Amino acid sequence: RQTLIYAFSMQVPEECERAQLAQKLAKPHERQLQLLGVVRGVGGGALEREELERVRRRYQLSYPLLDVAAALEDSDLPSEFKERLHQEGDWVLLLKGNGGSGYSVEGEDLERIFAGFGSVSTDIDESTWGKIKDLFQ
């Protein structure tokens, strides 16, 4: 199962709206993808649990939310992710099922992550391609 981590600021309405968009885009893939939100407070600071719940309710988010302090302590999150937590702007990191990172994009490019999500690569031998080619002649 893959994990999509969306880091955003509760101070920026556009970023909070993209948190909603992430939830909407992930819905069709919920069996193979879990969402995690990391919310930055004022000045990138820590948030109280009540503040996180307020963000969750206001934007109707159903996925887990962490503040920056909790994310920094989480041993499951990669160091490359933790290094970016204090940077301004929202961004997305897709972690592969084995814990390695897949894609990282700015928040405004969130939909790019989902464009190819769930696509399956298959091995088709040469004789199969020949049969397909014959069908279209």
**Could you read off the pLDDT of 33-83 as tens digits, one per residue?**
899 999 998 777 778 899 999 999 999 999 999 999 999 999 888 888 888
Please report, for residues 50, 62, 86, the alpha-carbon distance to residue 65 in angstroms, rounded to integers and kept in the order given.
11, 9, 16
Residue 46 pLDDT: 77
Q: Report residue 101: phi and psi, to 5°.
A: -85, 145
Q: pLDDT tens across 101-136, in order?
A: 665 666 676 777 677 665 544 455 555 556 565 666
Domain positions in the chain? 2-135
* Gap between the Cα atoms of 71 and 80, Å rounded: 12
Task: For residue 51, give the H/E element and its range.
Answer: helix 49-58
CATH architecture of 2-135: 3-Layer(aba) Sandwich (3.40)
CB of 26 within 8 A of CB of 32? no
CB of 114 within 8 A of CB of 25? yes
The string of DSSP codes covering 87-131 is: SSS-EEEEEPTTS-EEEEEEGGGHHHHHHSTT-------HHHHHH
* Gap between the Cα atoms of 71 and 74, Å rounded: 5
